Amino acid sequence: MIVGLGNPGRDYVRTRHNAGFMALDKLADRHAPGAPVRQRFHSSTLDINIPGAGKCMLMKPLTFMNRSGLAVAEAVNFFKLEPAEDLLVIVDEVAIDLGTIRLRATGSAGGHNGLADIERVLTTPDYARCRVGIGPQGMGTRHDFVLARFSEDQIPVIEAGVSKAADAAECWATSGITTAMNTFNTRPPKADTPKLKQEPNHTAEQGEAPRRDTPEVQDNE
């Protein structure tokens, strides 16, 4: 089961907090374009078939972000899923640069209310999660930042990010979280640090006092 977190309703469409919903839209367009969506488990759900993985349910909780655990737990209990093996949650992350993704097999909620509620209801942090970067945060409060829409120049970057999250979700479904992490948790190569030019080593001539970097301290005693 792949869950994308967000807030329902027209006021929240394509806001930063709905990056999880946007990633699920990518998966739906790839694997079940035009297919009818079902309303169950306090969610909008869609069954898709991922080549190499088989049937998989996409879920958008309609409970609002802070109560995401209610929807996730209902489906987990109904299908008798093992969260550590059968659940991937895609979520926005303000602490990661825009368009970057990070996958983890477990971990803390990191201040995200949706993840915190899922952990509370499932009574375990052991489920895979894919964080989609929406940061860094600009001026104002975090609340206002995550509920605002992306600027025009940010849209291509977040579109690439949620597409990558959809790729990672497919990899998770076919090959598991370890392979997905090894494949998608890549960092850009560090730029080469220029080497400092070494000054020539001046050897003191016979009878000449050696150079000192700091002045001698007078002994006042």
Q: What is the CATH number of the domain that holds 152?
A: 3.40.50.1470
In a domain, 19, yes or no: yes
Kindly list the strands in the beta sheet with 128-135, ordered across the sheet, starting from the edge strand earlier in the chain: 38-40, 43-50, 54-61, 2-4, 88-97, 128-135, 101-104
In a domain, 198, yes or no: no
Per the structure, how many domains does the chain have? Answer: 1
In a domain, 209, yes or no: no
In a domain, 60, yes or no: yes
Start-to-end Cα distance in the chain: 78
Task: Locate 138 and state its tokens.
Answer: 């600009």
d(CA 98, CA 21): 16
Per-residue pLDDT, 139: 82
Per-residue pLDDT, 187: 63
Residues ≥6 apart with Cβ < 8 Å to 141: none
Per-residue model confidence as pLDDT tens for the chain (221 residues): 999 999 999 999 999 999 999 999 999 999 999 999 999 999 999 999 999 999 999 999 999 999 999 999 999 999 999 999 999 999 999 999 999 999 999 999 999 999 999 999 999 999 999 999 999 988 889 999 999 999 999 999 999 999 999 999 999 999 999 999 999 997 644 444 444 445 555 444 444 444 444 444 444 44
Note down the domain range covering 162.
2-184
Residue 17 is a catalytic residue:
yes
Q: Are 35 and 28 in contact (CB under 8 A)?
A: yes
Q: How many CB atoms lie within 10 A of CB 111?
A: 11
In a domain, 200, yes or no: no
d(CA 21, CA 25): 6
The predicted model scores a pTM of 0.84
